[in-house]
Structure 1
């Protein structure tokens, strides 16, 4: 899976400017992903920034203040733009830098752009207020908004020649996306509740006495909130272990990118597990220096080797 046209240093001025815009969006808004993306060579970094900027646009529509009808219209407009990109109908002098950059990236790498259609489908579920009865129901949403991003990213990363199980790489990329999204859902429980959204499966909420929802900085009266969080943490950890089977299939810098991004979320999960009620008091995050440390570990391959050993032990049980 190699680039199919010119490298970034041969790109036209409008394309270079478009990528610069997308990198600025990524650097300012991708609180966690930017640390991994920085580890990539320029061509892959540019393509990932274009993917992020387009995805950010879709997410911002769903999270914005427009009325639901206006959000639905904007999402359909964005889907139409995606169709133009897919069909090669975006020119380099187009006034939309995100479209220019993504169109160029899609010509250079085998990016499965249908994954962005899935992302739009997932955000439409948000706008329509879909709730999830079971983990299988929530898993379908997570595949749209996060698993699809994993598969899109794999189109940029590619797999190394002769990699074992390379045909399963999209499956592992998808699973890693699920792990990240479930971590996000746990981290944002209170914020989502304030916005009228509940993502955790209704059957899990009922099992731990949390069906009444989350309306303050304390768990619902009589609930086993810690039990609920630990239940979801175990689910996320299993997804991480499975998803990390992707890493040996990637080249060093692509693997470092994935390990850094996923490593930050795994550390967030550790914090949430240690202090479940912290997610009700505010957004749990890592300090900048810890994120940088995780990125360095990713580049050195330390996290990849650790998780690979965990995955091997898990399969042998």
Structure 2
């Protein structure tokens, strides 16, 4: 499959093909929902998405490496090394680091703004020292770099039939909605890392503090006050999903099944959290396979129909021919 994708994308250099394959492995291993949705993209667009996800995963793994022997300072050194190598790659157009090599190629192919990676790395460094956020506004500033920029990075790869300034806020919202869903799902696991991403003012409004969260984690129970706080954050996340969904019709038609399916699958995690009464302190919400299948089948049908319409004005174009990447000529 990776050979077909790289051939379609016009990636011929053996080292670069290996770099993209490494990123695809990271995506398939750690981003199962994203990877599933990515399979709905035209083959030539997939390697770039794998590269963007692979870089984000690589940096996140440095921050969250489970090795207890690693200090925050050692993690910071590794992040700085990754960041410095990426800066050099973007400056000189090459890198010996496999993930950065694929990312650099993707950035140049699709004209992605390098400043988005600066913002991303800033948020990754915050995770080494910041363990809680006083208000949602404080959390939002963190999520700009850790989530919103991911949507903005992917947008040029997906392509848009709307002006970038119109589509970008919705792409950013999708990244934020995904991350808030992760925060809700992983409250217990994040607490084990001494992190609380639910804003402190929201917790305090319901009489929740770290001591109560730890009690819930240890006793495998979810206090009614914790449920109320998480319910409020869930409602906020629903609103962000609604804003993000309005951007799906703005995407290139060939990319809509992928993004629409990712949105449905990730929002289904939120559904499962709600159905469980926000009992997330001791369990991880999982979307049943049958529900995933119900979301995937119509998306596959839409994807097949688009490929049949190969001669239509909205037919997807291979990289290197037709419209510039990230654009469409109606």
User: TM-score, with normalisation over the residues of structure 1?
Assistant: 0.85
- Give me the whole-angstrom Cα distance separating, in 1, the residues matched to 2:164 and 2:247: 8
- Structure 1, unmatched stretches of 5+, are 1-5, 303-317
Equivalent residue number for residue 218 of structure 1: 221
Closer/same/farther in 2, CA of residues 39 and 113 from structure 1, 3 Å limit? farther
Equivalent residue number for residue 323 of structure 2: none
| Aligned partner (choices 183, 186, 208) of residue 184 of structure 2 | 186
| Aligned partner (choices 45, 64, 71) of residue 67 of structure 1 | 71
- Structure 2, unmatched stretches of 5+, are 1-6, 304-330
| Aligned partner (choices 86, 90, 108) of residue 90 of structure 2 | 86
Task: Look up the SS of the partner of 1:214 in the other structure.
Answer: helix
Instruction: Please say if residues 269 and 286 of structure 2, whose CA atoms lie closer than 8 Å, have aligned partners that are also in contact.
Output: yes
Task: Look up the SS of the partner of 1:32 in the other structure.
Answer: helix
May I ask how many residue pairs the two structures share in their alignment?
289
Task: Give the deviation of 1:45 after TM superposition.
Answer: 0.4
Instruction: Please say if residues 134 and 201 of structure 1, whose CA atoms lie closer than 8 Å, have aligned partners that are also in contact.
Output: yes
- Give me the whole-angstrom Cα distance separating, in 2, the residues matched to 1:148 and 1:272: 26
Task: Give the deviation of 1:260 after TM superposition.
Answer: 1.6
- Give me the whole-angstrom Cα distance separating, in 2, the residues matched to 1:10 and 1:196: 42
CA deviations over 1:99-129 (Å, ceiling 9, x no partner): 2211221221122232222221112111012
Task: Give the deviation of 1:10 after TM superposition.
Answer: 5.2
- RMSD (Å), alpha carbons: 2.0
Instruction: Please say if residues 23 and 46 of structure 1, whose CA atoms lie closer than 8 Å, have aligned partners that are also in contact.
Output: yes
- Of stretches 268-277 and 193-202 in structure 1, the one that deviates more from structure 2 is 268-277
Equivalent residue number for residue 77 of structure 1: 81
Equivalent residue number for residue 200 of structure 2: 202
Equivalent residue number for residue 157 of structure 2: 156
CA deviations over 1:188-240 (Å, ceiling 9, x no partner): 001111111111111111111211342222134xx522221221111001000
- Give me the whole-angstrom Cα distance separating, in 1, the residues matched to 2:298 and 2:10: 29
- Give me the whole-angstrom Cα distance separating, in 1, the residues matched to 2:102 and 2:222: 45
